[in-house]
Amino acid sequence: GHGIRSIDDPTLIAHLAKHEIPLEISLTSNAKTGSVSSLAAHPAKRFYDSGVPIILNTDDPALFQTTLANEYAVAANILGFTPKDLERLRQNAFRYAFAYRGSPATAPHPPSPPGSPS
């Protein structure tokens, strides 16, 4: 489940948020494996709203028949992530991929997606 059960422990959620410990979130995988009862029941937005950095991923795209674009669409269309939220998730993916441990103010900035204003 990639840490999704941690949503049941408010102390742990506070710790993850305070220490900026990211969770790797696989929406489709979690739904198909029964880690959550449905995509709509996934706690990803609750993590995000609690300040826990999350990163969307596909887990195993061939097995779960999903793409990263689909995971972002699910986040927006089913879980209610706004375009601004989705941009933050994209930035999180870049930031935590490099396991940056410095100040957020000096973290490297991800490149803009193709077609977006710089």
- 44 domain residue, yes or no: yes
- 112 domain residue, yes or no: no
Over the stretch 11-32, which tens digit does the pLDDT of each residue have?
999 999 999 999 999 999 999 8
* Domain of residue 88, residue span: 4-106
Unique residue bearing structure tokens 């103010």: 105
Over the stretch 101-113, which tens digit does the pLDDT of each residue have?
655 555 555 545 5
Average pLDDT over residues 56-79: 87
- 116 domain residue, yes or no: no
Over the stretch 1-11, which tens digit does the pLDDT of each residue have?
478 899 999 99
- 118 domain residue, yes or no: no
- 27 domain residue, yes or no: yes
- 41 domain residue, yes or no: yes
